[in-house]
Amino acid sequence: MKKQLLIIGGGFAGFWSALSAIRQSRELQKGDELEVTVVNMDEYLTIRPRLYEVSLKGLRVGLNKYFKPLGIKFIIGKAEIINPDQNLVMVLTDSGSRILNYDYLILSSGSVLKALNIPGIENTFNVDTFNGAQKLEDHLTQLAGKNFVDSASTFVVAGSGLTGLEVATVIKEKAMKIWGENAQKEIDFKVVLIEKAEKVGNYYATEAQDYVIETLKSKDISIATGVSLTAVSADGATLSDGTFIPSKTVISTIGLVASSLCHFFKGEKDKLGRLHVNKYLQLEEYENVIAAGDVANIPVDNEGNNSLMACQFSMFLGKWAGHNAVNWLFSQPLKPYNYTDYVTCVDLGQQDGMLTTGWERKLVSSGIEGKNIKMEVTTKLIYPADDVEAALEDSYPEVPNVSQNAV
Ligand SMILES: Cc1cc2nc3c(=O)[nH]c(=O)nc-3n(C[C@H](O)[C@H](O)[C@H](O)COP(=O)(O)OP(=O)(O)OC[C@H]3O[C@@H](n4cnc5c(N)ncnc54)[C@H](O)[C@@H]3O)c2cc1C
* Ligand 1 pocket, residue 45 CB under 6 Å: no
**Cβ density class 162-175: b for 16+ within 10 Å, e for less:** bbbbbbbbbbbbbb
54 SS3 class: coil
Contact (CB, 8 A) for 279 and 337:
yes
* Ligand 1 pocket, residue 294 CB under 6 Å: yes
* Ligand 1 pocket, residue 215 CB under 6 Å: no
Yes or no: is domain 121-252 CATH 3.50.50.60?
yes
* Ligand 1 pocket, residue 261 CB under 6 Å: yes
Q: Among 294, 341, 356, say which to mutate for ligand 1: greatest number of ligand atoms within 8 Å of CB.
A: 294
The reply to whether 3-113+256-339 and 121-252 are identical in fold is: yes
Reported as half-sphere exposure (CB side, CA atoms, 13 A), residue 314 has a value of 26
**Domains in the chain: boundaries:** 3-113+256-339, 121-252
pLDDT averages per 10-residue partition of the chain, 407 residues: 98 98 98 98 98 98 98 98 98 98 98 96 98 98 94 97 98 94 78 96 95 97 97 98 98 97 96 97 96 97 93 95 98 92 93 95 97 95 96 87 37
CA of 133 to the centre of ligand 1 (A): 14
Cβ neighbours, 10 Å, residue 108: 33
Reported as half-sphere exposure (CB side, CA atoms, 13 A), residue 319 has a value of 21
| Distance (Å, whole) CA 169 – CA 225 | 17
Sign of CA dihedral 258, 264, 270, 271: positive
Residue 251 CA, distance from chain mean position: 17
pTM: 0.96
pLDDT score, position 182: 60
Yes or no: is domain 3-113+256-339 CATH 3.50.50.60?
yes
Terminal Cα-to-Cα distance of the chain (whole angstroms):
41
